[in-house]
Amino acid sequence: MAWFTRQKSVRQPGVPGEQQTVKTEGLWLKCDGCRQIVWRKALEENTQVCPKCGYHFRLDAIARLSYTGFDLGLAILAIFILFILVLRATNGRRTN
Ligand SMILES: [Zn+2]
């Protein structure tokens, strides 16, 4: 009964099995405004605005700050330096 069972895998020689599949998951998004398929990279270059209809996709806080040029690492460094300056000015003592 070997007619209905595959004995050998049908793969191209020289190409591993994982590399034969094309992974397209996550590359495309469906726009809620115009129902068109939008390439995710085009959406990111257009600051999460649909290039076809102008629909604004949701942004999380970090993404919104990154589009404005905000650098989270620089902000943490500034807070750390400010903390050190306050400790040096008060000499580690409480003021009240
Ligand atoms: Zn759209």
Most confident of 59-63, 68-72, 74-78: 74-78
* Domain range for 44: 26-90
Above pLDDT 70, what percent of the chain?
71
Residue 84 is assigned to a structural domain of this protein: yes
CA of 23 to the centre of ligand 1 (A): 24
Residue 78 is assigned to a structural domain of this protein: yes
CA of 45 to the centre of ligand 1 (A): 14
User: What is the dihedral sign for C-alpha 61, 26, 32, 47?
Assistant: positive
Amino acid 66: pLDDT:
82
Amino acid 38: pLDDT:
94
Residue 5 is assigned to a structural domain of this protein: no
Amino acid 68: pLDDT:
85
pLDDT grade for 76, boundaries at 50, 70 and 90: very high
Residue 80 is assigned to a structural domain of this protein: yes
Residue 83 is assigned to a structural domain of this protein: yes
Residue 52 is assigned to a structural domain of this protein: yes
Above pLDDT 90, what percent of the chain?
44
Residue 4 is assigned to a structural domain of this protein: no
Amino acid at 26: G
Is the overall model pTM greater than 0.85, yes or no?
A: no
Residue 18 is assigned to a structural domain of this protein: no
Count of domains observed in the chain: 1
Query: 94 vs 65, which has greater pLDDT?
Result: 65
CA of 38 to the centre of ligand 1 (A): 7
Averaged confidence pLDDT in the chain: 82
Instruction: Give CA–CA dist 31/53, Å, rounded.
Output: 9
